Chains A and B, each alone.
Chain A
Protein backbone atom coordinates (compact mmCIF):
# COMPACT_ATOMS: atom_id res chain seq x y z
CA UNK A 1 0.00 0.00 0.00
CA UNK A 2 1.19 3.50 -0.75
CA UNK A 3 2.24 5.69 2.19
CA UNK A 4 -0.40 8.15 3.35
CA UNK A 5 0.57 11.82 3.49
CA UNK A 6 -0.51 14.08 6.32
CA UNK A 7 -4.23 14.86 6.51
CA UNK A 8 -3.62 18.52 7.37
CA UNK A 9 -1.04 19.05 4.63
CA UNK A 10 -3.53 17.81 2.07
CA UNK A 11 -6.18 20.23 3.26
CA UNK A 12 -3.70 23.09 3.05
CA UNK A 13 -2.94 22.08 -0.54
CA UNK A 14 -6.62 22.07 -1.42
CA UNK A 15 -7.01 25.56 0.03
CA UNK A 16 -4.03 26.71 -2.04
CA UNK A 17 -5.56 25.21 -5.17
CA UNK A 18 -8.86 26.91 -4.38
CA UNK A 19 -6.92 30.19 -4.42
CA UNK A 20 -5.53 29.33 -7.87
CA UNK A 21 -2.06 28.34 -6.68
CA UNK A 22 -0.43 26.28 -9.45
CA UNK A 23 2.42 25.15 -7.18
CA UNK A 24 -0.13 23.67 -4.81
CA UNK A 25 -1.73 21.89 -7.74
CA UNK A 26 1.62 20.48 -8.84
CA UNK A 27 2.34 19.29 -5.31
CA UNK A 28 -1.02 17.56 -5.12
CA UNK A 29 -0.32 15.86 -8.43
CA UNK A 30 3.15 14.81 -7.33
CA UNK A 31 1.62 13.34 -4.20
CA UNK A 32 -1.41 11.59 -5.67
CA UNK A 33 -1.07 11.61 -9.47
CA UNK A 34 0.25 8.06 -9.64
CA UNK A 35 -2.49 6.66 -7.42
CA UNK A 36 -5.21 8.49 -9.30
CA UNK A 37 -3.84 7.37 -12.65
CA UNK A 38 -3.56 3.78 -11.45
CA UNK A 39 -7.15 3.80 -10.27
CA UNK A 40 -8.42 5.35 -13.51
CA UNK A 41 -6.47 2.74 -15.48
CA UNK A 42 -7.98 -0.15 -13.53
CA UNK A 43 -11.49 1.14 -14.14
CA UNK A 44 -11.33 2.21 -17.79
CA UNK A 45 -8.72 -0.32 -18.92
CA UNK A 46 -6.55 1.65 -21.34
CA UNK A 47 -3.78 4.21 -20.74
CA UNK A 48 -5.23 6.71 -23.20
CA UNK A 49 -8.67 6.60 -21.63
CA UNK A 50 -7.14 6.73 -18.15
CA UNK A 51 -5.23 9.88 -19.07
CA UNK A 52 -8.45 11.48 -20.32
CA UNK A 53 -10.22 10.54 -17.10
CA UNK A 54 -7.36 11.89 -15.03
CA UNK A 55 -7.33 15.09 -17.04
CA UNK A 56 -11.06 15.64 -16.53
CA UNK A 57 -10.70 14.82 -12.86
CA UNK A 58 -7.91 17.36 -12.41
CA UNK A 59 -10.02 20.05 -14.04
CA UNK A 60 -12.86 19.10 -11.68
CA UNK A 61 -10.42 19.51 -8.80
CA UNK A 62 -9.54 23.01 -10.02
CA UNK A 63 -13.22 23.85 -10.17
CA UNK A 64 -14.25 22.09 -6.99
CA UNK A 65 -11.40 22.87 -4.62
CA UNK A 66 -13.14 26.01 -3.38
CA UNK A 67 -16.20 24.00 -2.47
CA UNK A 68 -14.33 21.17 -0.76
CA UNK A 69 -15.38 21.42 2.86
CA UNK A 70 -12.70 19.22 4.30
CA UNK A 71 -15.00 16.31 4.98
CA UNK A 72 -12.81 13.23 5.17
CA UNK A 73 -9.45 12.56 3.58
CA UNK A 74 -8.49 14.42 0.45
CA UNK A 75 -7.46 11.21 -1.32
CA UNK A 76 -10.96 9.78 -0.82
CA UNK A 77 -12.42 12.95 -2.32
CA UNK A 78 -10.01 12.80 -5.26
CA UNK A 79 -10.72 9.12 -5.85
CA UNK A 80 -14.46 9.72 -5.77
CA UNK A 81 -14.01 12.27 -8.56
CA UNK A 82 -11.86 9.87 -10.61
CA UNK A 83 -14.34 7.05 -9.93
CA UNK A 84 -17.26 8.99 -11.33
CA UNK A 85 -15.33 10.38 -14.27
CA UNK A 86 -14.12 6.87 -15.09
CA UNK A 87 -17.59 5.34 -14.88
CA UNK A 88 -18.88 8.15 -17.07
CA UNK A 89 -16.13 7.38 -19.59
CA UNK A 90 -17.10 3.70 -19.53
CA UNK A 91 -20.71 4.56 -20.20
CA UNK A 92 -19.64 6.69 -23.16
CA UNK A 93 -17.31 4.02 -24.57
CA UNK A 94 -18.14 0.71 -22.93
CA UNK A 95 -15.82 -1.26 -25.19
CA UNK A 96 -12.85 0.20 -23.31
CA UNK A 97 -13.70 -1.93 -20.31
CA UNK A 98 -13.15 -5.04 -22.35
CA UNK A 99 -9.55 -4.23 -23.17
CA UNK A 100 -7.32 -6.74 -21.38
CA UNK A 101 -5.25 -5.00 -18.74
CA UNK A 102 -2.24 -7.22 -19.24
CA UNK A 103 -1.74 -5.72 -22.69
CA UNK A 104 -0.95 -2.41 -21.10
CA UNK A 105 1.10 -3.59 -18.16
CA UNK A 106 4.82 -4.36 -18.15
CA UNK A 107 6.03 -7.87 -17.47
CA UNK A 108 8.50 -6.67 -14.86
CA UNK A 109 5.75 -6.31 -12.25
CA UNK A 110 6.19 -9.90 -11.06
CA UNK A 111 8.70 -10.19 -8.21
CA UNK A 112 11.54 -12.44 -9.39
CA UNK A 113 12.49 -13.44 -5.83
CA UNK A 114 9.18 -15.19 -5.19
CA UNK A 115 9.26 -18.92 -4.97
CA UNK A 116 7.96 -20.87 -7.96
CA UNK A 117 4.61 -21.73 -6.45
CA UNK A 118 4.03 -18.21 -5.29
CA UNK A 119 5.04 -16.86 -8.67
CA UNK A 120 2.53 -19.11 -10.31
CA UNK A 121 -0.13 -18.07 -7.86
CA UNK A 122 0.65 -14.40 -8.36
CA UNK A 123 0.49 -14.82 -12.11
CA UNK A 124 -2.87 -16.54 -11.89
CA UNK A 125 -4.14 -14.01 -9.39
CA UNK A 126 -3.25 -11.17 -11.74
CA UNK A 127 -5.00 -13.02 -14.51
CA UNK A 128 -8.01 -13.47 -12.27
CA UNK A 129 -7.99 -9.79 -11.38
CA UNK A 130 -8.34 -8.81 -15.03
CA UNK A 131 -11.43 -10.97 -15.31
CA UNK A 132 -13.28 -9.33 -12.43
CA UNK A 133 -15.99 -6.79 -13.20
CA UNK A 134 -15.25 -3.10 -12.80
CA UNK A 135 -17.26 -3.00 -9.56
CA UNK A 136 -15.29 -5.80 -7.92
CA UNK A 137 -11.92 -4.77 -9.30
CA UNK A 138 -12.35 -1.15 -8.21
CA UNK A 139 -13.16 -2.20 -4.65
CA UNK A 140 -9.98 -4.30 -4.49
CA UNK A 141 -7.94 -1.39 -5.84
CA UNK A 142 -9.42 1.01 -3.32
CA UNK A 143 -8.74 -1.33 -0.41
CA UNK A 144 -5.34 -2.76 -1.30
CA UNK A 145 -3.61 -0.13 -3.43
CA UNK A 146 -5.30 3.07 -2.33
CA UNK A 147 -5.46 2.06 1.33
CA UNK A 148 -9.00 3.25 1.95
CA UNK A 149 -11.09 2.19 4.90
CA UNK A 150 -14.36 0.30 4.52
CA UNK A 151 -16.40 3.49 4.87
CA UNK A 152 -14.17 5.45 2.50
CA UNK A 153 -14.42 2.68 -0.09
CA UNK A 154 -18.20 2.77 0.18
CA UNK A 155 -18.17 6.55 -0.17
CA UNK A 156 -16.04 6.48 -3.30
CA UNK A 157 -18.13 3.76 -4.92
CA UNK A 158 -21.37 5.40 -3.86
CA UNK A 159 -22.74 2.25 -2.32
CA UNK A 160 -23.56 1.01 1.19
CA UNK A 161 -20.84 -0.52 3.37
CA UNK A 162 -22.58 -3.89 3.09
CA UNK A 163 -22.19 -3.82 -0.68
CA UNK A 164 -18.44 -3.30 -0.33
CA UNK A 165 -18.29 -6.34 1.98
CA UNK A 166 -20.26 -8.48 -0.44
CA UNK A 167 -18.12 -7.35 -3.38
CA UNK A 168 -14.97 -8.27 -1.48
CA UNK A 169 -16.43 -11.65 -0.65
CA UNK A 170 -17.45 -12.22 -4.25
CA UNK A 171 -14.00 -11.19 -5.49
CA UNK A 172 -12.36 -13.61 -3.04
CA UNK A 173 -14.49 -16.52 -4.21
CA UNK A 174 -14.04 -15.62 -7.88
CA UNK A 175 -10.26 -15.38 -7.56
CA UNK A 176 -10.06 -18.63 -5.62
CA UNK A 177 -12.27 -20.30 -8.20
CA UNK A 178 -9.93 -19.08 -10.93
CA UNK A 179 -6.91 -20.50 -9.12
CA UNK A 180 -8.68 -23.82 -8.65
CA UNK A 181 -9.64 -23.96 -12.33
CA UNK A 182 -6.02 -23.38 -13.22
CA UNK A 183 -5.05 -26.47 -11.23
CA UNK A 184 -3.76 -25.04 -7.95
CA UNK A 185 -4.51 -27.25 -4.97
CA UNK A 186 -6.16 -26.01 -1.80
CA UNK A 187 -2.81 -25.95 -0.03
CA UNK A 188 -1.27 -23.83 -2.75
CA UNK A 189 -4.11 -21.32 -2.56
CA UNK A 190 -3.16 -19.58 0.64
Chain B
Protein backbone atom coordinates (compact mmCIF):
# COMPACT_ATOMS: atom_id res chain seq x y z
CA UNK B 1 0.00 0.00 0.00
CA UNK B 2 1.38 3.40 -0.83
CA UNK B 3 0.89 6.86 0.61
CA UNK B 4 -1.62 7.96 -2.01
CA UNK B 5 -4.13 5.36 -0.90
CA UNK B 6 -4.54 7.01 2.51
CA UNK B 7 -7.05 9.80 2.76
CA UNK B 8 -8.20 11.76 5.80
CA UNK B 9 -10.71 9.09 6.86
CA UNK B 10 -8.10 6.33 6.58
CA UNK B 11 -5.81 8.32 8.85
CA UNK B 12 -8.69 8.85 11.28
CA UNK B 13 -9.12 5.07 11.43
CA UNK B 14 -5.42 4.61 12.12
CA UNK B 15 -5.15 7.29 14.80
CA UNK B 16 -6.13 5.09 17.79
CA UNK B 17 -3.45 2.59 16.78
CA UNK B 18 -0.97 5.41 16.21
CA UNK B 19 -1.68 6.70 19.71
CA UNK B 20 -1.34 3.16 21.08
CA UNK B 21 1.96 2.74 19.24
CA UNK B 22 0.96 -0.43 17.42
CA UNK B 23 1.18 0.68 13.80
CA UNK B 24 3.79 -0.68 11.43
CA UNK B 25 6.67 1.72 10.75
CA UNK B 26 5.41 2.73 7.32
CA UNK B 27 1.87 3.43 8.50
CA UNK B 28 3.23 5.34 11.45
CA UNK B 29 5.19 7.57 9.09
CA UNK B 30 2.14 8.19 6.88
CA UNK B 31 0.10 9.20 9.90
CA UNK B 32 2.91 11.45 11.15
CA UNK B 33 3.11 13.15 7.75
CA UNK B 34 -0.64 13.71 7.72
CA UNK B 35 -0.64 15.05 11.28
CA UNK B 36 1.82 17.75 10.27
CA UNK B 37 -0.84 19.13 7.91
CA UNK B 38 -4.17 18.35 9.61
CA UNK B 39 -5.30 20.14 12.75
CA UNK B 40 -8.40 17.94 13.19
CA UNK B 41 -6.31 14.80 13.24
CA UNK B 42 -3.81 16.39 15.64
CA UNK B 43 -6.66 17.07 18.06
CA UNK B 44 -8.00 13.55 17.64
CA UNK B 45 -4.56 12.06 18.13
CA UNK B 46 -4.22 14.00 21.40
CA UNK B 47 -7.68 12.85 22.46
CA UNK B 48 -6.84 9.20 21.76
CA UNK B 49 -3.63 9.67 23.73
CA UNK B 50 -5.68 10.88 26.69
CA UNK B 51 -8.02 7.90 26.34
CA UNK B 52 -5.03 5.57 26.31
CA UNK B 53 -3.65 7.23 29.42
CA UNK B 54 -7.00 6.89 31.21
CA UNK B 55 -7.22 3.20 30.34
CA UNK B 56 -3.62 2.58 31.41
CA UNK B 57 -4.29 4.40 34.68
CA UNK B 58 -7.39 2.31 35.36
CA UNK B 59 -5.46 -0.89 34.87
CA UNK B 60 -2.25 0.26 36.54
CA UNK B 61 -2.88 -1.28 39.93
CA UNK B 62 -4.33 -4.56 38.68
CA UNK B 63 -2.38 -7.74 39.21
CA UNK B 64 -2.98 -11.31 38.09
CA UNK B 65 -4.77 -13.07 40.97
CA UNK B 66 -2.42 -15.85 42.17
CA UNK B 67 -5.32 -17.98 43.43
CA UNK B 68 -6.62 -18.32 39.87
CA UNK B 69 -3.36 -19.87 38.73
CA UNK B 70 -3.35 -22.20 41.75
CA UNK B 71 -6.89 -23.35 40.98
CA UNK B 72 -6.18 -23.76 37.28
CA UNK B 73 -3.16 -25.92 38.05
CA UNK B 74 -5.26 -28.23 40.21
CA UNK B 75 -7.78 -28.53 37.39
CA UNK B 76 -5.20 -29.38 34.76
CA UNK B 77 -7.05 -31.80 32.49
CA UNK B 78 -5.45 -35.21 32.09
CA UNK B 79 -7.43 -36.85 29.34
CA UNK B 80 -10.89 -35.96 28.22
CA UNK B 81 -13.55 -38.50 29.14
CA UNK B 82 -16.04 -39.66 26.53
CA UNK B 83 -18.67 -37.45 28.12
CA UNK B 84 -16.36 -34.43 27.95
CA UNK B 85 -15.46 -35.16 24.34
CA UNK B 86 -19.14 -35.47 23.49
CA UNK B 87 -19.86 -32.25 25.32
CA UNK B 88 -17.03 -30.50 23.44
CA UNK B 89 -18.40 -31.64 20.10
CA UNK B 90 -21.97 -30.68 20.98
CA UNK B 91 -20.69 -27.26 21.98
CA UNK B 92 -18.72 -26.97 18.74
CA UNK B 93 -21.76 -27.96 16.67
CA UNK B 94 -23.93 -25.40 18.46
CA UNK B 95 -21.35 -22.71 17.80
CA UNK B 96 -21.00 -23.62 14.14
CA UNK B 97 -24.75 -23.57 13.52
CA UNK B 98 -24.57 -19.81 13.96
CA UNK B 99 -21.49 -19.41 11.78
CA UNK B 100 -22.64 -21.40 8.74
CA UNK B 101 -24.20 -19.21 6.04
CA UNK B 102 -27.83 -18.83 7.07
CA UNK B 103 -29.23 -19.12 3.54
CA UNK B 104 -28.05 -22.74 3.28
CA UNK B 105 -30.79 -23.88 5.62
CA UNK B 106 -33.69 -22.12 3.92
CA UNK B 107 -32.48 -22.61 0.33
CA UNK B 108 -31.96 -26.36 0.80
CA UNK B 109 -35.42 -26.79 2.30
CA UNK B 110 -37.09 -24.69 -0.39
CA UNK B 111 -35.39 -26.41 -3.34
CA UNK B 112 -35.99 -29.91 -2.00
CA UNK B 113 -39.56 -28.99 -1.12
CA UNK B 114 -40.09 -27.76 -4.66
CA UNK B 115 -38.48 -30.93 -6.04
CA UNK B 116 -40.77 -33.02 -3.88
CA UNK B 117 -43.87 -31.24 -5.16
CA UNK B 118 -42.81 -31.51 -8.80
CA UNK B 119 -41.94 -35.19 -8.35
CA UNK B 120 -45.40 -35.77 -6.90
CA UNK B 121 -47.15 -33.88 -9.68
CA UNK B 122 -45.19 -35.69 -12.40
CA UNK B 123 -45.30 -38.94 -10.46
CA UNK B 124 -41.57 -39.22 -11.16
CA UNK B 125 -39.54 -39.85 -8.01
CA UNK B 126 -36.38 -39.62 -10.10
CA UNK B 127 -36.81 -35.85 -10.27
CA UNK B 128 -36.24 -35.55 -6.53
CA UNK B 129 -33.40 -38.04 -6.61
CA UNK B 130 -31.68 -35.95 -9.25
CA UNK B 131 -32.10 -32.82 -7.20
CA UNK B 132 -31.00 -34.04 -3.75
CA UNK B 133 -27.28 -34.48 -4.57
CA UNK B 134 -27.18 -31.02 -6.17
CA UNK B 135 -28.66 -29.36 -3.10
CA UNK B 136 -26.21 -31.12 -0.81
CA UNK B 137 -23.25 -30.32 -3.08
CA UNK B 138 -24.15 -26.62 -3.18
CA UNK B 139 -24.40 -26.52 0.60
CA UNK B 140 -21.06 -28.24 1.05
CA UNK B 141 -19.36 -25.81 -1.32
CA UNK B 142 -20.44 -22.98 0.95
CA UNK B 143 -19.43 -24.21 4.39
CA UNK B 144 -15.84 -23.03 4.63
CA UNK B 145 -13.45 -20.37 3.43
CA UNK B 146 -12.92 -16.62 3.53
CA UNK B 147 -15.87 -15.98 1.17
CA UNK B 148 -18.29 -17.92 3.31
CA UNK B 149 -17.15 -17.11 6.81
CA UNK B 150 -17.01 -13.48 7.87
CA UNK B 151 -15.37 -14.48 11.14
CA UNK B 152 -12.93 -17.03 9.77
CA UNK B 153 -10.09 -15.12 11.37
CA UNK B 154 -11.84 -15.58 14.66
CA UNK B 155 -12.39 -19.28 14.12
CA UNK B 156 -8.68 -19.56 13.35
CA UNK B 157 -7.90 -18.22 16.78
CA UNK B 158 -10.23 -20.49 18.75
CA UNK B 159 -9.07 -23.66 20.51
CA UNK B 160 -10.93 -25.88 18.02
CA UNK B 161 -8.76 -26.84 15.07
CA UNK B 162 -9.74 -25.94 11.54
CA UNK B 163 -10.32 -29.57 10.61
CA UNK B 164 -12.67 -29.93 13.60
CA UNK B 165 -14.56 -26.84 12.49
CA UNK B 166 -14.75 -28.17 8.94
CA UNK B 167 -16.02 -31.54 10.12
CA UNK B 168 -18.55 -29.94 12.45
CA UNK B 169 -19.97 -27.86 9.61
CA UNK B 170 -19.95 -30.87 7.31
CA UNK B 171 -21.94 -32.89 9.84
CA UNK B 172 -24.42 -30.05 10.26
CA UNK B 173 -25.02 -29.23 6.59
CA UNK B 174 -24.78 -32.72 5.15
CA UNK B 175 -26.84 -34.10 8.02
CA UNK B 176 -29.49 -31.45 7.42
CA UNK B 177 -29.66 -32.15 3.67
CA UNK B 178 -29.67 -35.89 4.32
CA UNK B 179 -32.58 -35.50 6.70
CA UNK B 180 -34.52 -33.39 4.22
CA UNK B 181 -33.92 -35.92 1.44
CA UNK B 182 -34.92 -38.80 3.69
CA UNK B 183 -38.18 -37.10 4.63
CA UNK B 184 -38.91 -36.32 0.98
CA UNK B 185 -38.09 -39.90 -0.06
CA UNK B 186 -40.35 -41.26 2.66
CA UNK B 187 -43.08 -38.95 1.40
CA UNK B 188 -42.68 -40.26 -2.13
CA UNK B 189 -42.82 -43.79 -0.80
CA UNK B 190 -46.11 -42.91 0.83
CA UNK B 191 -47.65 -41.36 -2.26
CA UNK B 192 -45.95 -43.17 -5.13
CA UNK B 193 -45.05 -46.51 -3.58
CA UNK B 194 -41.33 -46.19 -4.38
CA UNK B 195 -38.83 -48.69 -3.00
CA UNK B 196 -37.26 -46.36 -0.48
CA UNK B 197 -34.23 -48.41 0.52
CA UNK B 198 -33.16 -49.19 -3.04
CA UNK B 199 -33.78 -45.63 -4.15
CA UNK B 200 -31.88 -44.31 -1.17
CA UNK B 201 -28.81 -46.43 -1.88
CA UNK B 202 -28.63 -46.31 -5.65
CA UNK B 203 -30.38 -43.14 -6.67
CA UNK B 204 -29.14 -40.45 -4.36
CA UNK B 205 -27.36 -41.37 -1.12
CA UNK B 206 -24.06 -42.52 -2.59
CA UNK B 207 -24.05 -39.90 -5.37
CA UNK B 208 -24.99 -37.27 -2.79
CA UNK B 209 -22.01 -38.21 -0.61
CA UNK B 210 -19.67 -38.27 -3.60
CA UNK B 211 -20.83 -34.97 -5.10
CA UNK B 212 -20.82 -33.27 -1.71
CA UNK B 213 -17.26 -34.34 -0.96
CA UNK B 214 -16.21 -33.30 -4.46
CA UNK B 215 -17.87 -29.89 -4.01
CA UNK B 216 -16.17 -29.38 -0.66
CA UNK B 217 -12.74 -30.27 -1.97
CA UNK B 218 -13.14 -28.07 -5.05
CA UNK B 219 -14.43 -25.15 -2.99
CA UNK B 220 -11.22 -25.21 -0.95
CA UNK B 221 -9.11 -25.19 -4.10
CA UNK B 222 -10.97 -23.11 -6.69
CA UNK B 223 -13.65 -21.29 -4.66
CA UNK B 224 -17.31 -21.96 -3.95
CA UNK B 225 -18.81 -20.72 -7.22
CA UNK B 226 -16.46 -22.76 -9.39
CA UNK B 227 -16.97 -25.79 -7.17
CA UNK B 228 -20.75 -25.59 -7.55
CA UNK B 229 -20.49 -25.20 -11.31
CA UNK B 230 -18.08 -28.13 -11.66
CA UNK B 231 -20.12 -30.51 -9.54
CA UNK B 232 -23.32 -29.55 -11.33
CA UNK B 233 -21.62 -30.32 -14.64
CA UNK B 234 -20.44 -33.69 -13.34
CA UNK B 235 -23.97 -34.54 -12.24
CA UNK B 236 -25.45 -33.27 -15.49
CA UNK B 237 -22.95 -35.45 -17.31
CA UNK B 238 -24.53 -38.49 -15.71
CA UNK B 239 -27.81 -37.79 -17.47
CA UNK B 240 -26.32 -36.60 -20.75
CA UNK B 241 -24.16 -39.70 -21.04
CA UNK B 242 -27.14 -41.86 -20.19
CA UNK B 243 -28.75 -40.86 -23.50
CA UNK B 244 -28.90 -44.03 -25.61
CA UNK B 245 -26.85 -42.64 -28.51
CA UNK B 246 -24.04 -41.36 -26.31
CA UNK B 247 -24.11 -44.34 -24.01
CA UNK B 248 -23.09 -46.67 -26.82
CA UNK B 249 -20.03 -44.58 -27.60
CA UNK B 250 -19.06 -44.22 -23.94
CA UNK B 251 -19.46 -47.93 -23.34
CA UNK B 252 -17.07 -48.56 -26.16
CA UNK B 253 -14.46 -46.34 -24.49
CA UNK B 254 -14.89 -47.12 -20.81
CA UNK B 255 -16.78 -49.09 -18.22
CA UNK B 256 -19.76 -46.78 -18.75
CA UNK B 257 -21.31 -44.04 -16.65
CA UNK B 258 -24.07 -46.30 -15.42
CA UNK B 259 -21.60 -48.54 -13.69
CA UNK B 260 -19.90 -45.57 -12.05
CA UNK B 261 -23.04 -43.95 -10.63
CA UNK B 262 -24.65 -47.29 -9.94
CA UNK B 263 -21.84 -48.47 -7.68
CA UNK B 264 -22.61 -47.08 -4.21
CA UNK B 265 -19.63 -48.76 -2.59
CA UNK B 266 -17.18 -47.11 -4.95
CA UNK B 267 -18.92 -43.73 -4.68
CA UNK B 268 -18.86 -43.80 -0.89
CA UNK B 269 -15.22 -44.82 -0.95
CA UNK B 270 -14.38 -41.95 -3.25
CA UNK B 271 -16.38 -39.60 -1.03
CA UNK B 272 -14.29 -40.66 1.94
CA UNK B 273 -11.07 -40.08 -0.01
CA UNK B 274 -12.16 -36.63 -1.14
CA UNK B 275 -13.16 -35.72 2.39
CA UNK B 276 -9.78 -36.80 3.70
CA UNK B 277 -8.09 -34.67 1.04
CA UNK B 278 -10.24 -31.70 2.12
CA UNK B 279 -9.13 -32.07 5.73
CA UNK B 280 -5.49 -32.20 4.64
CA UNK B 281 -5.94 -29.05 2.54
CA UNK B 282 -7.59 -27.16 5.41
CA UNK B 283 -4.72 -28.10 7.71
CA UNK B 284 -2.21 -26.94 5.13
CA UNK B 285 -4.09 -23.68 4.61
CA UNK B 286 -4.14 -23.09 8.38
CA UNK B 287 -0.39 -23.67 8.44
CA UNK B 288 0.23 -21.27 5.57
CA UNK B 289 -1.70 -18.58 7.46
CA UNK B 290 1.05 -18.67 10.07
CA UNK B 291 3.71 -18.30 7.39
CA UNK B 292 1.92 -15.30 5.84
CA UNK B 293 1.83 -13.57 9.20
CB nearest neighbor in A for B156: A71
Q: Interface size (A, Cβ < 8 Å)? A: 74
Q: How far is the CB of B148 from chain A (nearest CB, A)?
A: 14
Report whether A144 and B154 are in contact in the complex, using a CB–CB cutoff of 8 Å.
no
Report whether A126 and B54 are in contact in the complex, using a CB–CB cutoff of 8 Å.
yes
- B64 CB contact (under 8 Å) in A36, A59, A154: A36
Report whether B72 and A145 are in contact in the complex, using a CB–CB cutoff of 8 Å.
no
Q: How far is the CB of B280 from chain A (nearest CB, A)?
A: 14
**Which B residues are in CB contact (< 8 Å) with A67?**
159-161, 164
| A37 with B64, Cβ < 8 A, contacts A68-B159, A72-B157, A125-B54 known | yes
**Which B residues are in CB contact (< 8 Å) with A36?**
64
Report whether A71 and B43 are in contact in the complex, using a CB–CB cutoff of 8 Å.
no
Report whether B61 and A108 are in contact in the complex, using a CB–CB cutoff of 8 Å.
yes
Q: How far is the CB of B78 from chain A (nearest CB, A)?
A: 8
CB nearest neighbor in A for B47: A190
Alpha-carbon gap, A80 to B160, bound state (A): 12
Q: How far is the CB of A25 from chain B (nearest CB, A)?
A: 7
Q: How far is the CB of A148 from chain B (nearest CB, A)?
A: 7
Report whether A122 and B71 are in contact in the complex, using a CB–CB cutoff of 8 Å.
no
- B69 CB contact (under 8 Å) in A29, A109, A140, A151: A29
CB nearest neighbor in B for A59: B75
**Which B residues are in CB contact (< 8 Å) with A159?**
151
| A176 with B73, Cβ < 8 A, contacts A37-B68, A144-B20 known | no
- B43 CB contact (under 8 Å) in A55, A68, A70, A190: A190
Report whether A33 and B159 are in contact in the complex, using a CB–CB cutoff of 8 Å.
no
Q: How far is the CB of B99 from chain A (nearest CB, A)?
A: 9
Kindly state whether residue B4 has any CB partner on chain A within 8 Å. Answer: no
Kindly state whether residue A12 has any CB partner on chain B within 8 Å. Answer: no
- B46 CB contact (under 8 Å) in A105, A147, A158, A190: A190
Report whether B21 and A1 are in contact in the complex, using a CB–CB cutoff of 8 Å.
yes
Kindly state whether residue A106 has any CB partner on chain B within 8 Å. Answer: yes
Alpha-carbon gap, A58 to B158, bound state (A): 13
Chain A 78-95, CB-CB to B under 8 Å as 1, else 0, gives: 001100100000000000
Q: How far is the CB of B163 from chain A (nearest CB, A)?
A: 9
Chain B 53-64, CB-CB to A under 8 Å as 1, else 0, gives: 111111111111
| A147 with B22, Cβ < 8 A, contacts A59-B77, A64-B159, A69-B286 known | yes
- A145 CB contact (under 8 Å) in B56, B63, B161: B56
Kindly state whether residue B51 has any CB partner on chain A within 8 Å. Answer: yes
- B17 CB contact (under 8 Å) in A41, A71, A143: A143
Q: How far is the CB of A102 from chain B (nearest CB, A)?
A: 9
- Chain B CB count within 10 A is highest, among A60, A80, A157, for A80
